[in-house]
Amino acid sequence: MKITYTENFSSNFGSRKTFKKMFDKCAYSGEGFAPYDTRTIEHIIPVVKGGGNEYSNYLVVRRSWNMDRSDQSLDEFIKANPQVKENIVAAVNSKEGQIIEGINWADEVKKTLLKEIGYDIFKQ
């Protein structure tokens, strides 16, 4: 099923808040968000390492996972937390076909993940 979001998604706070609500599970833990959980934008490629503020560089995770990863590479983080790999795959695949700002979010995130990690986590 293809879903298109017609809201004006830009990197401002309001649209990021809307983007975070699209996800019902943390991309790192795979667990559903409880009402009290703080959903955060996680940069696949950390900003301090050249990552940008575009939706193709975003995952949605619990604050605690975001803080645990900090600015380490995603490959390092996956090696330390192997379950994260399959949870990211499930999170991205769950949004397959969703169009945000004219891009297929899942397809673009897959490209960003390949760039950051150096291998395709979707081929197992």
Residue 124: its pLDDT value, please? 66
User: Rounded to whole angstroms, how far apart are CA atoms 59 and 79?
Assistant: 18
The more confidently predicted of residues 15 and 96 is 96
Domain ranges of the chain: 4-117
User: Rounded to whole angstroms, how far apart are CA atoms 100 and 56?
Assistant: 10
Residue-wise pLDDT for 30-68, tens only, equals 999 988 889 999 999 999 999 999 999 999 999 999 999
The more confidently predicted of residues 1 and 60 is 60
Residue-wise pLDDT for 66-122, tens only, equals 999 998 999 999 999 999 999 999 999 999 999 987 899 999 999 999 999 999 999
Answer for the pair 56, 111: CB distance below 8 angstroms, yes or no: yes
Residue 14: its pLDDT value, please? 56
Query: Which residues, 6+ apart, have CB-to-CB distance to 59 below 8 Å?
Result: 27, 28, 41, 42, 44, 88, 91, 109
Residue 2 has pLDDT above 60, yes or no: no
Kindly indicate the confidence band of residue 18, based on its pLDDT and cuts at 50, 70 and 90: confident
Q: For the whole model, what pTM was predicted? A: 0.86
